[in-house]
Structure 1
Amino acid sequence: MALRLIGMLMLSFSILAFAIPRPNKSETKKRVYEHQPLSDEEHFKGKGHEHNVDYDHEAFLGNEQKATFDQLSPEESVRRLGILVEKIDSNGDGKITEDELKSYVDHTQKRYIYEDVDRQWKDLNPDGKPSLSWGEYVNRTYGFDVDDPARNTEFNYKDMKKRDRRRWEKADVDKDDKLTKDELTTFLHPEEFDHMKDIMVEETLKDIDKDKDEKVSLDEYIGDMYSEEERKNNAEEPDWLKTEKEQFSKYRDKNMDGYLDKAEVKDWILPAEYDNVAAEATHLMHEADANKDGTLTKQEILEKHDIFVGSQVTDFGEALARHDEF
């Protein structure tokens, strides 16, 4: 139970990541959410911008089982890719659209989320019921009377419960006060779902907005990163703090009124990003679509198998290796 509670604490404070590095990052509340790159490889390398297929392999397959396809013969690699193609073709019409390709790449990149949810779903719902009630969640997560002041010692569990409740209600799409596994996914990983992003803004405001005026002043913004104790112990302001003040004034406070309102907080913690998943799907489609009809057949993919699989195979390598699927 203690480990479970610590895990929830870590989840509450570590979903987001700072844009500006600073000392003692492990002790800092992290705010800005940034998507992980599809691959650690460069897509185009060198002065000649040479195409690097290792990037595509990792983006398409993931990054946990990189050695799987590398150990296969070319014939076996192509055979397994053929089976994978049938999984990508979600409607079974024999043609893979760019949207189907995008969905598959996106699922690959988010596999760690689904694995985390699988683990927590089993922990929170050991009986395997179709949905989890709020009371069951509280009992499994806290395991005691969270509203008892005597139990609020090291952490303010009462505030944590309120935060969980707000997020629970947002994730509960059908408003039955229960979460299905899909709804629990949005509860645990709100940063990945558009309808949950407003609750992230609300949580950030409640954390930082000390005077409860529904906006963030420069002092509150800095105070969230640099505590009063740190200020007393450091005679000189660190460079990273000067940079953050400039970021606040020049870029974050868009209407220049001296505060961050909800919209500006959202732009800060959830910055608009280039859709690298869509870009990769477009790239793969362009490379493999021999007749340029905007869809891919199984044959087209297999003829360009070196773009999709090769020396590096990962997330789906594990799925591909299961005997029941191959």
Structure 2
Amino acid sequence: MFQCSRMIRLVLVFFVLCVVCSSSKPTERKNRVHHEEPLSELEHNDNKNFDYDHEAFLGRDEAKTFDQLPPEESKRRLGIIVNKIDINHDGFVSEEELKVWIKNAQRKHIYDSVEHQWKDFDLNGDGQISWDEYKNVTYGSYLDDPQTESEYNYTHMMWRDERRFRVADRNGDLIADKKEFTAFLHPEEHEYMKDIVVQETIEDIDKNGDGFIDLKEYIGDMYTSEDGEKEPEWVATERQQFSEFRDKNNDGKMDKEETMDWILPSDYDHAEAESRHLLHESDTNQDGKLSKKEILDKYDVFVGSQVTDFGEALLRHDEF
């Protein structure tokens, strides 16, 4: 079973490498920019409905569940959620607490992904994942037979993984709890991991090893020309983007700060905007915070609800 798990993990490593490294369509642009995911794909028009707000507040899957609940059950569950949002337990929900909740709701797919993988790596079941456990699951077959010929440099891959693991491991014990392991698997979502994301990106693109990304390397990472092939129009646009926006100091290359501005842009904060909107819609006494009563009185803004025959089947839920 253990050997099977290791083999499955190696297959996943192969898959990721193939996705990252392959260029089966030379004219197809590679995108390294990490944009914040939208809170909802729905139109935000409160004159029509509050569906956008429901998905932003609850996350898409949970919003669908609430849509099938009778109003009283929807209110009851919302009351439980309000208690969770009120982090400092002062009886009110602030704009910042709303923002934190919305961000967490939108990142639920990340947390679910980590939960799904957790048992594969926590080999001794102690609720933590050590670097040795991760290494053995991911690179076990290679460690058993390092002489096996392969087009992949597993030694280098393992070194990079360990370096990232050490950055994610905030207390330096080479053992990751769930928060640290989440940061390891999804570094672009964590502020303290941004430097390692930038470093790895530069290493991937920097072919001459000078620690910078020049124009040739920048274009070469996105586009590989073929003999007789006409260069796509977007390549010329990217050259212009590099000169006018990426290379801010006009020295012909991107340093770490410029690379961070490129791949981790300071996007419009959708969660902040939505928390401000929900506060504006529900703050009846205009004191800049929401009581539980104010939220429940405006429950239709926060969560969906309808009376259905099968709604009762959804009332049983571990969290509620």
Tell me the TM-score normalised to structure 2 length: 0.87
Instruction: Give 1:42's aligned amino acid.
Output: E
Would you say the 8 A contact 2:212–2:254 is kept in 1?
Answer: yes
- The CA deviation string for residues 111-165 of structure 1, in whole angstroms up to 9 with x for no partner, is 0111111122211003321432222211011113449663351422222112101
In structure 2, the residue matched to 1:129 is 126
Question: Which of 239, 245, 261 is the equivalent residue of 2:239?
Answer: 245
Instruction: Give 1:296's aligned amino acid.
Output: L
In structure 2, the residue matched to 1:58 is 55
Instruction: Give 1:235's aligned amino acid.
Output: E
In structure 2, the residue matched to 1:184 is 181
Q: Distance in 2 between matches of 1:83 and 1:74?
A: 15
Q: Distance in 1 between matches of 2:11 and 2:271?
A: 32
CA distance 1:25–1:193, change in 2 (3 Å): farther
How large is the RMSD of aligned CA atoms in angstroms?
Answer: 2.8
Q: How does 1:1-326 map to 2 (within 5 A)?
A: 1-8=6-13, 24=25, 30-44=31-45, 50=47, 52-146=49-143, 150-227=147-224, 231-310=225-304, 321-326=315-320
CA distance 1:292–1:14, change in 2 (3 Å): farther
Would you say the 8 A contact 1:147–1:158 is kept in 2?
Answer: no
Q: How many equivalent pairs are there? A: 307
Could you tell me how far 1:80 is from its partner in structure 2?
2.0
Instruction: Give 1:94's aligned amino acid.
Output: G
CA distance 1:264–1:9, change in 2 (3 Å): farther
Would you say the 8 A contact 1:171–1:183 is kept in 2?
Answer: yes
Tell me the TM-score normalised to structure 1 length: 0.85
Instruction: Give 1:160's aligned amino acid.
Output: M
- The CA deviation string for residues 235-273 of structure 1, in whole angstroms up to 9 with x for no partner, is 321112111111111111111111111111111111111
- The CA deviation string for residues 53-107 of structure 1, in whole angstroms up to 9 with x for no partner, is 1110110011124432222222222222222222222333321112221111111
Would you say the 8 A contact 1:98–1:285 is kept in 2?
Answer: yes
Would you say the 8 A contact 1:146–1:152 is kept in 2?
Answer: no
CA distance 1:175–1:35, change in 2 (3 Å): same
Q: Distance in 2 between matches of 1:102 and 1:44?
A: 20
- Runs (4+) off by over 6 Å: 12-15, 25-28
Q: Distance in 2 between matches of 1:151 and 1:129?
A: 33
Percent identity between matched residues is 52
**Residue aligned with 2:93, SS:** coil
Instruction: Give 1:7's aligned amino acid.
Output: L
Would you say the 8 A contact 2:10–2:139 is kept in 1?
Answer: yes
Instruction: Give 2:234's aligned amino acid.
Output: W
CA distance 1:147–1:275, change in 2 (3 Å): farther
Could you tell me how far 1:279 is from its partner in structure 2?
1.1
Would you say the 8 A contact 1:13–1:29 is kept in 2?
Answer: no
Structure 1 residues not aligned, in runs of 5+: 16-21
CA distance 1:160–1:115, change in 2 (3 Å): same
Would you say the 8 A contact 1:14–1:29 is kept in 2?
Answer: no
